[in-house]
Amino acid sequence: MNFTIPKQLGRFLVTGGAGFIGSHLVDNLLAAGAERVVVVDDFNDYYDPRTKWQNIAAHLGNTRFRLEAADIRDRDRLNKLARDERFDCIVHLAARAGVRPSLTEARLYQDVNIGGTLHLLEMARQQNCRHFVFASSSSVYGPTAAPPFREDAPLMPISPYAATKAAGELMAHTFTHLYGIHAVCLRFFTVYGARQRPDLAIHKFARSIAARQPIPVFGDGSTLRDYTYIDDIQQGLAGAIRYTAEGATPFEVVNLGESQCISLNRLISVLEQALGEKAILHRQPEQPGDLPLTHADISKARRLFGYAPDTAIEDGIANFVSWMRWRDHKAQAA
């Protein structure tokens, strides 16, 4: 993957930069020569915060890197950070994640995902930072979108999480219209790879299969997902950053997926092959809020960013399993 950044964008703020996608972005920005990378992350207990610290540990001594352990709901902390630092580009990845938890914690999701996004857009406006990249989600489409999902399809979110992501897109659009910010909203399609959150299906399934424990399978396994490998997502993020700098249009919504549908049953089969173990299935009812299908039309990303995902699910899963085993071995040796 060739990750390059425009010369005029040297100073980056990455929210959620200690998480799965964010920590990979931080790695790539620093490797590409970014002058300054500031991470805001609250290290909440949605999953073990030590995992996030491990994700960024290699950068803590880097003079071009700064970590601000803060909540994006905390306007005072963000205002102080804005006084201390100047940013050429804000990449806003921080969010309360997950469809299912949002069903019981809707207010929390509203406060973090909508309120926090507004705070970041206000920071961009106050700093005259004209380049803003926002992490949205394929879940905004809802169950009625015709595959492959095009960015101009009507949105019908069916979970609080999805609704907050759709609201974030609208907020970004409003700020581009009012204040001249260039914003790209990226709709991620089921991202996986090294450092994936432990609550997500691929990670959870892999650990359970390896331990010969049952895995929960909601429905009959026929649901289809567009699984997107982390390196391909990073390629798309680099394209979005370059696109805002080139200033072609002030606002775009762009899908980032692999543009291939894999059934849950097929995913389990690929995991079995990579792990060398047979899965024990625990069938459960379908879950409210889950989509039966996600499938990205990536023609817009190809046109605007030169986006060209090329990781087959078999290769991506094999890479993930290798990382998981490496990390477990490292933990045992510590």
Per-residue pLDDT of the chain (334 residues; tens, 9 = 90+): 779 999 899 999 999 999 999 999 999 999 999 999 999 999 999 889 999 999 999 999 999 999 999 999 999 999 999 999 999 999 999 999 989 899 999 999 999 999 999 999 999 999 999 999 999 999 999 998 999 999 999 999 999 999 999 999 999 999 999 999 999 999 999 999 999 999 899 999 999 999 999 999 988 889 999 999 999 999 999 999 999 887 679 999 999 999 999 999 999 999 999 999 999 999 988 877 677 889 999 999 999 999 999 999 999 999 999 999 999 988 888 6
Residue 6 covered by a domain: no
Q: Does 143 reside within a domain?
A: yes
Is 218 contained in some domain?
Answer: no
**CATH code at 27?**
3.40.50.720
Residue 261 has, within 13 A of its CA and on its CB side, a CA count of 14
Q: Is position 83 within any domain?
A: yes
Identify whether 279 is part of a domain: no
- What is the number of domains present in the chain? 1
171 located within any domain: yes
Instruction: Determine, yes or no, domain membership for 315.
Output: no
Active centre residues (catalytic): 161
